[in-house]
Amino acid sequence: MESLKVLWMSTGLANFELGQVIMMLVGSSLLYLAIARNFEPLLLVPMGFGAILTNIPVAGFSEVGGLLHYIYYVGIDTGIFPLLIFMGVGAMTDFGALIANPKTLLLGAAAQFGIFATLFGAIALNFVGLDFSMKDASAIAIIGGADGPTAIFLASKLAPDLLGAIAVAAYSYMALVPIIQPPIMRALTTEQERKIEMAQLRHVTKVEKVIFPLGVLLMTIFFLPAATPLVGMFCLGNLMRECGVVDRLSSTAQNELINIVTIFLGLGVGSKLSAEQFLNTKTLGILALGAVAFSIGTATGVLMAKLMNKLSKEKVNPLIGAAGVSAVPMAARVANKVGLEANPHNFLLMHAMGPNVAGVLGSAVAAGILLALVG
Amino acid sequence: MENHQALFLEAGTLMLAGMIFVFAFLGLLIVFINVVLVKLAKKYPDTIVKSRPTSKKNNNKTDGSINPAVVAAISAAVSQYRQQQSTQK
């Protein structure tokens, strides 16, 4: 009888707590969104599964000695996984559209207002009973950068306790870009502005593409060394892509390596989705602020593009400003789609890729600023 | 409450400093592209690999005309085929 009792006490059924069950349902919801709705499946599948694993009673996945504990400790606590992902993203990024039309960098800069305005919003939530420190607020604000690896990197440095909620918010809203952005883009532009056709981009030579990442790195070294982990890895990946002599390394960085790291990054983030860390009012605040951050970033990008259209000799379709929030290449595709609705002959995709990759650089720079000033 | 207000002030300063820095950094990058990269592009343009001229013996002409030799060979083959058909009957 005693052994039967011991056996029962070692089952999951006897040890389940309500919080664990709820978090398993949250993990299952992430799996549903990824598999049935195709929302950022590459990350949400391992993240959702990680959330289920970490909430299994008795198994101790996220305790010392557990698999997820070590994955988190080795890859995310140290910042290595997001940086490796950033290298892969660099290897996948073509800066041609940006170099051909460099003023689109200003659109990428304007869209970062979403980050800094959200920082303000997070602190404002302290007046309604939440308790966010400046580090917490900075980590939450980076969701507005619409850049998963940057958000995870900064959150792991500034607010590891909020990492799970921040990663879930960042990737959820990135998947929701086609739903969040179009109403804002339509509200801030006229039909005539959405119809604007832009001049064809000039040809960008190989030497420009090779020197560009080195120039970006040099400027980061001079002016913002705190951002060099992110920008440096990004530039390394991009240089491998463009130099043309290490195709094997470039291919590995943008395929096998980024895939392997994505599995572990997802599991590591999932390990932070435990009941005690996720089921609180702060998570609700983070989810709300994430939506605000995306919306403000989109709006300021579009408004900046409108201003550029007024001041510039060449016509600028304001829709491409929305791509400044990064979320590559989803935001550029959304700009293209909304443009096509107004003018079926107007293909904005290449023009939107300029502010889109500028947004990646902009959010990495913003993360460096927050690290330097708050970290 | 005073602590909240101090945080609010700090967030405002951070927002201002952050946006100025982001614009300054990416603005400098515009200058870098316009000054350095564009000059480099003019000095080292992409080398265009010229396609090798097709040999005179090549019958696959791209201008739409058909080589007279090919026309003669096909005509000969067709007439030979017809002759064979008529002798079989």
The predicted structure's pLDDT at residue A332: 94
Does residue B63 have a pLDDT over 90? no
Q: Does A212 touch chain B (CB under 8 A)?
A: yes
Q: Is residue A155 part of a domain?
A: yes
What domain range is A210 assigned to? 12-374
Instruction: For residue B54, name the pLDDT band (cuts at 50, 70, 90).
Output: low
Query: What is the mean pLDDT for each group of 10 consecutive residues in chain A (375 residues)?
Result: 87 90 94 91 93 92 93 92 95 95 95 93 87 92 91 94 90 88 96 94 93 96 95 97 96 96 94 88 90 93 96 93 91 94 93 95 95 91
Average confidence score pLDDT of chain B: 80
Point out the residue among B14, B34, B40 whose CB comes nearest to the CB of A102. Answer: B34
Query: Which residues on chain A are in Cβ contact (under 8 Å) with B15?
Result: 116-117, 119-120
Q: Is residue A5 part of a domain?
A: no
Q: Does A369 touch chain B (CB under 8 A)?
A: yes
Which residue pairs, CB below 8 angstroms and at least 24 apart, start in A339-345?
A: A339/A194, A341/A194, A342/A191, A342/A194, A342/A195, A343/A194, A343/A195, A343/A197, A345/A197
For residue A108, give the nearest of A293, A305, A336 by alpha carbon.
A305
Do A281 and A301 form a contact (C-beta atoms < 8 A)? no
Q: Is residue A2 part of a domain?
A: no
How many other CB atoms are found less than 10 A from the CB of residue B8? 15
Number of domains in chain A: 1
The predicted structure's pLDDT at residue B3: 78
- How far is the C-alpha of A363 from the C-alpha of A233, rounded, in Å? 14
What are A276's two structure tokens? Answer: 């005690």
CA of B51 to nearest chain A CA: how many angstroms apart?
20
Q: Is residue A4 part of a domain?
A: no
Q: Is residue A338 part of a domain?
A: yes
HSE value, Cβ hemisphere, 13 Å, CA-based, for A161 = 11
The predicted structure's pLDDT at residue A94: 94
Q: What is the ipTM of this complex?
A: 0.90
Q: Is residue A78 part of a domain?
A: yes
The predicted structure's pLDDT at residue A74: 94
Outline where A72-197 has alpha helix (H).
80-92, 96-100, 105-110, 113-124, 134-141, 148-158, 163-175, 177-188, 191-194
Query: Which residues on chain B are in Cβ contact (under 8 Å) with A212?
Result: 33, 37
Cβ separation B22–A120 shorter than 8 A: no
Q: Does A279 touch chain B (CB under 8 A)?
A: no
Q: Tell me the percentage of chain B whose pLDDT exceeds 70.
A: 73
Q: Is residue A185 part of a domain?
A: yes
Instruction: For residue B50, name the pLDDT band (cuts at 50, 70, 90).
Output: low
- How far is the C-alpha of A139 from the C-alpha of A153, rounded, in Å? 9
Q: Is residue A3 part of a domain?
A: no
